[in-house]
Structure 1
Amino acid sequence: MKKLAFLAPMLLISAALAATPKDTLVYQNSADIPTLDPTMVYDTASGSITENIYETLLTYKGASLTELEPLLATGWKESNAGKTYTFDLRKNVKFHSGNTMTCDDAAYSIRRNLVVNSPESGNWFISEALLGTGSNANDDKTITWDRIAKAVSCNNAGQLVFNLPKVDPAFLAKMAYTGQSIVDKAHAIKQGEWDGTERTWKEWVGKDLNDSGLSKNPSGTGAYQIVRRDANTLLARAFPGYWGQKPAIQNVIIQKVPEQAARYEAIKRGDADIIETGPRSTLSQLQGPGITILDDLPNTTATAFFMNQNVKDPGLLGSGKLDGRGIPANFFSDVNVRRAFSYAFDYERYIKEVQLGKGIQRTMLLPDSFPGYAKDVKTYKYDAKQAESYFKRAFGGDVWKNGFTLRMNYRAGAAASQTAAELLKRNIEAINPKFKVEIGAKQWSTMLNDSKAGKEAMIIIGWAPDYADPDNFVHTFYHSEGYYSPRSGFSDRSIDAWVNQARNTTNTAKRNQLYKLVANRSFAVAPFIYIPAGVNFTVYRSELKGVSKNTYNPMTSFSATGTFWKDLSK
């Protein structure tokens, strides 16, 4: 109750003085916080909180995407040809409950993720690493308790041991993901969570734990602990028993403010230290005394037009034929169609009009700041003559002779996606009067579900990384069994083989060579139209210290500053 009595007035004081106190950080955004249970975290809003109240074994070093350093671990070693990892754990670390962290807590945390592995969570990739499958035990009957127990355990020396079925070069990066945070086992069980035993594990497989007891009452080892949370406000306070350096910021207030204009006014007045901003075109509204705009930050998302080679919704096909009134389900299976569409998009105009000149045309669907990105690869440029040439070759000349009507959707409310779709439509229809592209807005959740079922002909969709390894993008987009495969219907034996090889070697140079092969092959077969990547920026009050290009790490969920709360001060 003392904590509530202390923090609640702080919120009132900040509003009254129109300036946040020196020891308090106020962040305003428009997002809900779905969960504070690490096993369910798979969105940036939840991740930005959990990464500050919980901690993982490893974390990224400074702004690096390739260097990892110990956090709750003090060191680790590899053995068994890269299939066994043994971690030494930090001593005398306290949870917010007052319990001392042990190896048993760490083993319980990872086992819990393997047991639950809900479809709504991000645990598929740690399950893939430790069990050889991204599925849970309900969907893959070969998963047994013995396999889970063997995958992660404690040895007699109190070390945490991971046994992988095969080499995974991304394993350490996966362990830095906030969903692999170490939870307080005794506290979790007291909240009604899984008891950690073989007797009950099957009861928890696939459960949706977004609103779990642990989410309502978390206990981590992080520098901050939750004091109060409701639909619109979260209050956190520095944990006095934190094992690391004591943070300068003692209080953190997260406020949900849906209206962009209200957030902009708040940071201008000093009511907020950091805010969620709108598109680059709105930055002019924020320029002024007391506000810093940090620009030219890395963008770690990748976005593309998907050209579905096997459209499973007859309603999008019109006549279903190349007669000018529709398209066949396999319209995009002809590489000439895909190349024509790729040449028909005006990349430079998109960068100029949507990204105000702050954009990069990438060579592949992998962030250019990531390891494995291949710079020396051809890219498509807007060329109406080239597009016309490939359209004339498509389907033996039938596309050019008869024309087509294509229906494509974009996410409702996404101005950049709408503009991209309109640019493509305008350019294609200008090539041949028999070509028609009908575009429409669609609710995001509906479009996601339909595209996952292969029911969209052409959509714009992107990917943000779970962990800083190229496989998280390359397998997702390009592999025939990748997460996005149903949305594109794309399959290429050579690419599949190269991606599989890259997944099974720890040799960085070899992996990079394989990813370059993927990029070159992708240019040749054109499964996607790569949308230029915007350059990121962030806006904050100038008195806030600890935000810079040298410290900004895009893998930190609290990407408004690219840092943890504990690294900030005023």
Structure 2
Amino acid sequence: MKKFAALTALLALTTALAVAPKDTLVEQVGADIPTMDPGVTYDTASGAVVENMYETLLTYSGASLTKLEPLLATKWTISNGGKTYTFDLRKNVKFHSGNAFDCADAEYTFERNLVTNSPESGNWFISESLLGTGANAADDKTITWARIDKAVECNNAGQLVFTLPSVDPAFLAKLAYTGQSIVDRDHAIKIGEWKGTSADMANWVGKDLTNSNLSKQPSGTGAYKFVRKDANAFLATAFDGYWGKKPAIKNVIIQKVGELAARQQAFLRGDADIIEGGGRAVDEEQIKGKPGVTWVENLPNTGATAIFMNQNIKASTALGSGKLDGKGIPANFFKDANVRRGFSYAFNYTQYINDVQNGKGKQRTMLLPDTFPGYDSKVSTYKFDAKQAETYFKRAWGGQLWKNGFVLNANYRAGAVAAQTAMEILKRNIESMNPKFKVNITAKPWSEMLADSKTGKEAMIIIGWAPDYADPDNFMYTFYSSNGYYYPRNNWKDAQVDKWLDQARSTVNTAERNRLYSLVGKKAYEQAPYILIPAGVGFNFYRDTLVGAGATNFNPMISFATGTFWKELSKK
């Protein structure tokens, strides 16, 4: 109790912007943390804390995107023509609850992910590997407890055995994803989570775990243990029973500070070790070269970001009148490709690169990192062209759009300066074309925007994608397939694109996959389902007292701002 009281006092002290102590890592961000349950962790804000409280079977080796090394596993073998994986598990590991880790916890974790597999989670891709489908038992009646139980089992030797229906060359990489972190079975069941039995399965199929009991009371094997969380701050402390090397950083505090200026001031005073910045242009002007600041350049950018244009908007509040009468938009406003092309030509990509990325950005041809196989630099791109935009707007909706005008309500993540700037650029250019055109933009909390976008309630938003595993399918299928994770956010479907993407999944021939992805990129340019936000050259900054946060250890597969785990950091 005394320890908890001391940590609570520390939290209050740092919230009041006292200089961060040497044994405490303080980060300030603009977003909240939607969940702490690994089974539904599928955003970077949640991932940044979950990946440090929990652990996966495997993890990425150093800065490598493809080399994997054991974590809670110690070794593995592959047999049965590449369809059976057998893992030896680490001994003498404890959960934060005090429970001992064993194979039953790992089996429970993966079965729980296959049973729940909600739209809010990233379990679709592990389900594709283990069950041959990304669906859950509610959407696919062929998924039974027997299939789930057979897919992942503990053998008599205490080894974890996965049995896949077909070969998946990305399976090991998928196991390194934060959402596949091993949970504490006994603790989860005790606090009211799934009981791990077929009898209890029906109550949990497709269930949203965002606000689960496990999210409120996490128990992992990670180097850091959860202490408390409220609307404005998160606090964790080093776990005394951790099986690995004792971390140098004792406490970690993540504060939600919506105003960028306040975050900048705290950082420059030394009150925060790391902050969420405002994009390259702002950060270079306000942060770079200042006393006490370490600036790191040329980090890999393996993300992809786009402005989504939803073709089936499922929220009346976003539609105004709900008609193309100058007072709103219909739910299928973006169904007309001419509208999407007009918006794509109305965005000033060069201005965004200059204003947000300070000239250090690149307009990509596809929603795929240009360092990944399958990227085609020869696919055409949209450029800012007001005349072209006007031409397509005049064609849209049989001429009614230009004649009547529209009112579009769009949101961006509160505290995200880059997203706000992008929306402001688009708003200004579109409204200048026709006095009857109106784009209203509003800041919205990340958790609310995330939830609403998943159900198609956002008309237009900016969302990015960081890779779950290092394969082009993770981007191309996600953005462009009507069965992909992002489909409900924009509701764009093209039968030919779906066919190409399915073909790319069914072959290990790299040249053939590259050809198919190129075809998808060309078709996407023609149909303009997204406005592709330019990709910035990766950079980072932190207080010069922080050790271990440089380019050498930076891995873009890690969600935390430094590209490293907390346990790898120290302060001088």
TM normalised by structure 1 equals: 0.84
The secondary structure found in structure 2 opposite 1:199 is helix
Aligned counterpart, 2:563: 562
> Which amino acid in structure 1 is aligned with residue 141 of structure 2?
K
Quote how far apart the aligned CAs of 1:552 are.
1.6
Superposed CA deviations along residues 484-535 of structure 1, whole A, max 9, x for unmatched, are 3355443333321221122223444443332222223323443333222234
Q: Structure 1 residues 417, 4: closer, same or farther in 2, change over 3 A?
A: closer
Aligned counterpart, 2:95: 95
Q: Is the 8 A contact 1:249 1:565 kept in 2?
A: yes
The secondary structure found in structure 2 opposite 1:482 is coil
> Which amino acid in structure 2 is aligned with residue 129 of structure 1?
S
Aligned counterpart, 1:171: 171
Deviates more, 1:86-95 or 1:485-494: 485-494
Is residue 483 of structure 2 the alignment partner of residue 514 of structure 1? Answer: no
> Which amino acid in structure 2 is aligned with residue 351 of structure 1?
I
Aligned counterpart, 1:241: 241
Supply the distance in 2 between the matched residues of 1:12 and 1:320 (Cα, whole angstroms).
Answer: 51
Supply the distance in 2 between the matched residues of 1:6 and 1:311 (Cα, whole angstroms).
Answer: 49
Aligned counterpart, 2:140: 140
Deviates more, 1:296-305 or 1:414-423: 414-423
Supply the distance in 2 between the matched residues of 1:218 and 1:328 (Cα, whole angstroms).
Answer: 43
Supply the distance in 2 between the matched residues of 1:26 and 1:274 (Cα, whole angstroms).
Answer: 7
Q: Is the 8 A contact 2:324 2:401 kept in 1?
A: no
Superposed CA deviations along residues 228-268 of structure 1, whole A, max 9, x for unmatched, are 44554444332333222232223323334444444333322
Q: Is the 8 A contact 1:297 1:535 kept in 2?
A: yes
Aligned counterpart, 1:194: 194
Quote how far apart the aligned CAs of 1:372 are.
3.4
> Within 5 A, what are the aligned runs for 1:245-264?
245-264=245-264
Supply the distance in 2 between the matched residues of 1:327 and 1:14 (Cα, whole angstroms).
Answer: 46
Supply the distance in 2 between the matched residues of 1:480 and 1:15 (Cα, whole angstroms).
Answer: 44
Aligned counterpart, 2:462: 461
Aligned counterpart, 1:75: 75
Q: Is the 8 A contact 1:168 1:505 kept in 2?
A: no
The secondary structure found in structure 2 opposite 1:202 is coil
Quote how far apart the aligned CAs of 1:551 are.
1.6
User: Which residue, 538, 541, 547 being the options, matches 2:540?
Assistant: 538
Q: Structure 1 residues 213, 449: closer, same or farther in 2, change over 3 A?
A: closer
Q: Is the 8 A contact 2:324 2:400 kept in 1?
A: no
Quote how far apart the aligned CAs of 1:12 are.
7.5
> Within 5 A, what are the aligned runs for 1:115-130?
115-130=115-130
Quote how far apart the aligned CAs of 1:106 are.
0.6
> Within 5 A, what are the aligned runs for 1:7-22?
7-8=7-8, 18-22=18-22
> Which amino acid in structure 2 is aligned with residue 555 of structure 1?
M
Q: Structure 1 residues 83, 375: closer, same or farther in 2, change over 3 A?
A: farther
> Which amino acid in structure 2 is aligned with residue 504 of structure 1?
S
User: Which residue, 348, 351, 355 being the options, matches 2:350?
Assistant: 348
Q: Is the 8 A contact 1:114 1:123 kept in 2?
A: yes
Deviates more, 1:542-551 or 1:417-426: 417-426
> Which amino acid in structure 2 is aligned with residue 441 of structure 1?
I
Supply the distance in 2 between the matched residues of 1:27 and 1:86 (Cα, whole angstroms).
Answer: 39
Is residue 476 of structure 2 the alignment partner of residue 499 of structure 1? Answer: no
Q: Is the 8 A contact 2:282 2:356 kept in 1?
A: no
Aligned counterpart, 1:185: 185
Q: Structure 1 residues 536, 411: closer, same or farther in 2, change over 3 A?
A: farther
Q: Is the 8 A contact 1:168 1:503 kept in 2?
A: no
Q: Is the 8 A contact 1:425 1:437 kept in 2?
A: no
Supply the distance in 2 between the matched residues of 1:231 and 1:198 (Cα, whole angstroms).
Answer: 36
Is residue 289 of structure 2 the alignment partner of residue 293 of structure 1? Answer: no
Q: Structure 1 residues 317, 311: closer, same or farther in 2, change over 3 A?
A: farther
Quote how far apart the aligned CAs of 1:221 are.
1.5
Q: RMSD value over aligned CA atoms?
A: 3.8
> Which amino acid in structure 1 is aligned with residue 179 of structure 2?
G
Q: Structure 1 residues 512, 73: closer, same or farther in 2, change over 3 A?
A: farther
Aligned counterpart, 1:63: 63
Q: Which stretches in structure 2 are left out of the alignment for 5+ residues?
A: none
Quote how far apart the aligned CAs of 1:337 are.
6.0
> Which amino acid in structure 1 is aligned with residue 521 of structure 2?
A
> Within 5 A, what are the aligned runs for 1:373-452?
373-384=375-386, 394=395, 399=399, 405-411=405-411, 416-417=418-419, 419-421=421-423, 423-424=425-426, 436-442=436-442, 444=444
Quote how far apart the aligned CAs of 1:446 are.
8.0
The secondary structure found in structure 2 opposite 1:86 is strand
Supply the distance in 2 between the matched residues of 1:203 and 1:446 (Cα, whole angstroms).
Answer: 25
Aligned counterpart, 1:270: 270
Q: Is the 8 A contact 2:546 2:570 kept in 1?
A: yes
Quote how far apart the aligned CAs of 1:325 are.
9.9
Superposed CA deviations along residues 441-477 of structure 1, whole A, max 9, x for unmatched, are 2575887777667677x62432323603322321122
Quote how far apart the aligned CAs of 1:116 are.
2.5
The secondary structure found in structure 1 opposite 2:203 is helix
Q: Which stretches in structure 1 are left out of the alignment for 5+ residues?
A: none
Deviates more, 1:18-27 or 1:149-158: 18-27
Identity %: 63
> Which amino acid in structure 2 is aligned with residue 127 of structure 1?
S
Aligned counterpart, 1:226: 226
Supply the distance in 2 between the matched residues of 1:309 and 1:215 (Cα, whole angstroms).
Answer: 33
Quote how far apart the aligned CAs of 1:406 are.
4.3
The secondary structure found in structure 2 opposite 1:523 is helix
Quote how far apart the aligned CAs of 1:336 are.
6.0
Aligned counterpart, 2:40: 40
Aligned counterpart, 2:23: 23
The secondary structure found in structure 1 opposite 2:202 is helix
The secondary structure found in structure 1 opposite 2:226 is strand
Superposed CA deviations along residues 103-140 of structure 1, whole A, max 9, x for unmatched, are 11110111112222344333233233322333333343
Supply the distance in 1 between the matched residues of 2:98 and 2:174 (Cα, whole angstroms).
Answer: 28
Q: Structure 1 residues 204, 494: closer, same or farther in 2, change over 3 A?
A: closer
Q: Is the 8 A contact 1:303 1:460 kept in 2?
A: no
Superposed CA deviations along residues 262-298 of structure 1, whole A, max 9, x for unmatched, are 4333322323222233344442333421122334434
Supply the distance in 1 between the matched residues of 2:192 and 2:343 (Cα, whole angstroms).
Answer: 54
Q: Is the 8 A contact 2:303 2:467 kept in 1?
A: no
> Which amino acid in structure 2 is aligned with residue 463 of structure 1?
G
Q: Is the 8 A contact 1:410 1:417 kept in 2?
A: no
Q: Structure 1 residues 436, 169: closer, same or farther in 2, change over 3 A?
A: farther
Q: Structure 1 residues 204, 371: closer, same or farther in 2, change over 3 A?
A: same
Supply the distance in 2 between the matched residues of 1:548 and 1:476 (Cα, whole angstroms).
Answer: 30
User: Which residue, 487, 490, 504 being the options, matches 1:485?
Assistant: 487
Quote how far apart the aligned CAs of 1:39 are.
1.6
